[in-house]
């Protein structure tokens, strides 16, 4: 807790430098602007709002729950031409096709996930599972991810996520596929199933838990308040969850995200995403080495205005953190589970 050391991340087969003593240093770097608190509930100029007109001229329906539509500016398209053959091994290109969708969580722009009701969060989970099934029928990887807050590059405050399906396995997916496959081969148990059992017993990095799920600050966490959401049973894909597991997932997501917001009493920014076994042709293959999980990567370090930057040593050598995962977990664990905006109600 007081001296620098390195920790191994078996999921990525790399290391992180932990320098706990550095958290005491004074901060003279950049201060961020806190997120706006005056987001209008409905704005006809916001392209994600019900009834609003998007950039392509299409008008959104007056939706009352979740709303999924094709991304108007997709990074992947299903009919992209294949690149020319390479004339040298140092200049390789490969085909890349796919589909990009946007999913609005709720019709109100001022209602983030931690402020939504459990049935509303459950509706989001159901929509995620449906998209995984639909897109995963033909694409090997379906990436659900949410960028929350301008600090994480989100250009619209309306609560939403994106879903990108690709004809290839992205780098992180390929890496996790390799490390989990190797662990199962060597130890006879899925890596993250064994890891969840260990963390549930040790409890020092545990943030929240229920009968089906647990959230930990992983032993190898890179970001200050990074968390890992894990099921207790062996489950490969989001669409494999039972109804009761989806209910308990809604509950634990709400509890975690309330704690995040309560940490600095601000709408907490983060990037999150689900990782599970590949789909498409992989649906017919043995993917027992995979364990479903969600990553949360929040950038805030000391306050709502001081963030962690991944620069310098992190970019040129390896990841480094100032706060130990145990300290971060203890702080998150001790926070109330009533949202700070609702304490006076």
pLDDT for 345 equals 55
Quick one: CA dihedral 73, 74, 78, 83, positive or negative?
positive
Q: What is the pLDDT of residue 302?
A: 82
Q: How confident is the model at residue 152 (pLDDT cuts 50, 70, 90)?
A: confident
Does domain 39-79+94-337 sit in CATH 3.30.428.10?
yes
Active site residue 160: yes
Q: Which of 21, 88, 158, 160 is catalytic?
A: 160
Binding residues: 22-25, 55, 71-72, 147, 153-155, 162, 176, 275, 293, 295, 308-309, 313-314, 320
State the sign of the Cα–Cα–Cα–Cα dihedral 323, 324, 327, 328: positive
| Residue 175 host element (H or E) | helix 171-187
Comparing 23 with 89, the larger pLDDT belongs to 89
pLDDT at 31 over 70: no
List the binding residues for Fe cation.
176, 275, 293, 295
Helix (H) or strand (E) run with residue 16 in it: strand 14-18
Q: Residue 168 in contact with residue 94, Cβ under 8 Å?
A: yes
User: Is the pLDDT confidence value at 28 over 60?
Assistant: no
Give dist(CA 208, CA 332) in Å, integer.
9
> Which of left, alpha, beta for 110 (phi over 0: left; psi -120 to 50: alpha)?
alpha
* Residue 135 and residue 278 in contact, taking contact as beta carbons nearer than 8 Å: no
Q: What is the pLDDT of residue 105?
A: 98
pTM value > 0.75: yes
Q: What is the mean pLDDT of residues 44-70?
A: 96
In this structure, what token pair is assigned to residue 320? 């480094």
Tens-place pLDDT, residues 120-150: 999 999 999 999 999 999 999 999 999 998 8
Residues in contact with 144: Cβ distance below 8 Å, sequence separation at least 6, in sequence order: 128, 131, 132, 161, 162, 163, 238, 273, 274
What mean pLDDT value characterizes the chain? 94
Name the residue ranges covered by the structural domains of the chain.
Answer: 39-79+94-337
The DSSP line for 115-137 is: GS-HHHHHHHHHHHHHHHHHHHT
Annotated binding site for UDP-alpha-D-glucose: 22-25, 55, 71-72, 147, 153-155, 162, 308-309, 313-314, 320
């Amino acid at each position: 807790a007081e001296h620098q050391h390195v920790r191994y991340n078996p999921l990525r087969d790399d290391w992180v430098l932990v320098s706990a003593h550095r958290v005491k240093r004074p901060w003279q770097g950049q201060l961020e602007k806190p997120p706006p608190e005056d987001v209008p509930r409905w704005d006809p100029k916001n392209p994600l709002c019900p009834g609003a007109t998007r950039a392509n001229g299409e008008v959104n329906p007056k939706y009352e729950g979740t709303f999924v539509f094709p991304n108007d500016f997709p990074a992947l398209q299903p009919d992209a031409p294949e690149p020319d053959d390479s004339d040298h091994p140092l200049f390789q290109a490969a085909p890349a096709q796919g589909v990009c969708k946007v999913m609005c969580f709720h019709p109100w722009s001022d209602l983030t996930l931690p402020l939504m009701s459990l049935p509303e969060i459950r509706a989001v989970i159901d929509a995620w599972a449906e998209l995984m099934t639909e897109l995963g029928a033909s694409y090997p990887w379906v990436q659900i991810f949410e960028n929350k807050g301008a600090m994480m590059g989100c250009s619209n405050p309306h609560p939403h996520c994106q879903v990108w399906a690709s004809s290839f396995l992205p780098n992180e997916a390929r890496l996790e596929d390799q490390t989990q496959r190797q662990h199962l081969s060597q130890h006879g148990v899925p890596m993250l199933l064994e890891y969840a059992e260990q963390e549930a017993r040790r409890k020092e990095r545990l943030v929240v838990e229920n009968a089906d799920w647990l959230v930990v600050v992983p032993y190898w966490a890179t970001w200050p308040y990074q968390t890992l959401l894990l099921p207790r049973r062996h489950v490969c894909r989001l669409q494999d969850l039972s109804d009761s597991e989806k209910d308990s997932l809604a509950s634990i997501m709400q509890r975690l995200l309330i704690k995040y917001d309560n940490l600095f009493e601000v709408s907490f920014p983060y990037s999150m995403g689900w990782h599970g076994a590949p789909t498409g042709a992989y649906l017919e293959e043995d993917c027992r080495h995979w364990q479903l999980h969600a990553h949360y990567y929040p950038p805030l370090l000391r306050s709502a205005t001081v963030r962690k930057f991944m620069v310098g040593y992190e970019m040129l050598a390896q990841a480094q953190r100032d706060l130990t995962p145990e300290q971060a977990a203890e702080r998150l664990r001790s926070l109330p589970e009533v949202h700070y905006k609702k304490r006076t109600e």
